Structure 1
Amino acid sequence: MTDRWIPTTDRDQLVRDALVAVRSFSDSMDRMHGVLRSDMDMNGSDLAALRMLIVREQRGEWVSPHEIARHLAISTASTTKLLDRLAERGHIERRPHPADRRARIVVLTDRARSDFFHHLGARMVKMRDVMNAYTDDELRVVARFLDDMDDAMVD
Structure 2
Amino acid sequence: MTDAEHRIRAENAERMHDPRVVDIRGRMLDVSDMEDADIAHVVRVLDALRDWRAAEERLSEASRSFMKLGDNDMRALRYIIVVTDRGDVATARGIAEHLGISSAATTKLLDRLERGDHIRRTAHPHDRRSSSIVITSETRAAAQATVGREHARRFRVAAALTAAERDVVIRFLGELSRTTEGDWARA
Q: TM-score, normalised by structure 1?
A: 0.59
Report the Cα offset of residue 48 of structure 1: 0.9
**SS across alignment from 1:62:** coil
SS state of the match for residue 37, structure 1?
helix
1:66 has 2:97 as partner: no
* Aligned equivalent of 1:10: none
Question: Is this contact kept in 2: 1:65–1:106, CA < 8 A?
Answer: yes
Distance 2:56 2:154 in 1: 16
Q: Which has the larger radius of gyration?
A: 2
Question: 2:109 matched to which residue of 1?
Answer: 82
Per-residue deviation, 1:39: 2.6
Post-superposition offset of 1:134: 7.8
| CA gap 1:78/1:132 in 2 versus in 1, 3 angstroms | closer
Q: Aligned-pair distance for 1:112?
A: 1.2
| 1:101 positional shift | 2.2
Give the CA deviation at 1:82: 0.6
Q: How far 1:130 moved relative to its partner?
A: 4.2
Report the CA distance between 1:55 and its aligned residue: 1.6
How many residues end up aligned between the 2 structures? 117
Q: Post-superposition, which runs of at least 4 consecutive aligned residues in structure 1 deviate over 4 A?
A: 26-30, 127-135
Distance, in Å, in 2 between the alignment partners of 1:38 and 1:129 is 26
Q: 2:141 & 2:66 partners in 1: Cα distance?
A: 14
Change in Cα spacing, 1:119 to 1:130, as seen in structure 2 (3 Å) is: same
Calculate the aligned-residue CA RMSD, in Å. 3.2
Paired position in structure 1 for 2:143: 116
Partner SS, residue 60 of structure 1: coil
SS at match of 1:66: helix
Bigger RCO of structures 1 and 2 (CA < 8 A, at least 6 apart): 1
> Structure 1, residues 83-137: CA drift from partner, whole Å, max 9, x if none?
01101111111111111222211111111112113324652553465477589xx
Q: 2:76 — aligned with what? A: 49
Cα contact 1:94–1:104 (8 A) shared by 2? yes
Q: Is 1:95 matched with 2:154?
A: no
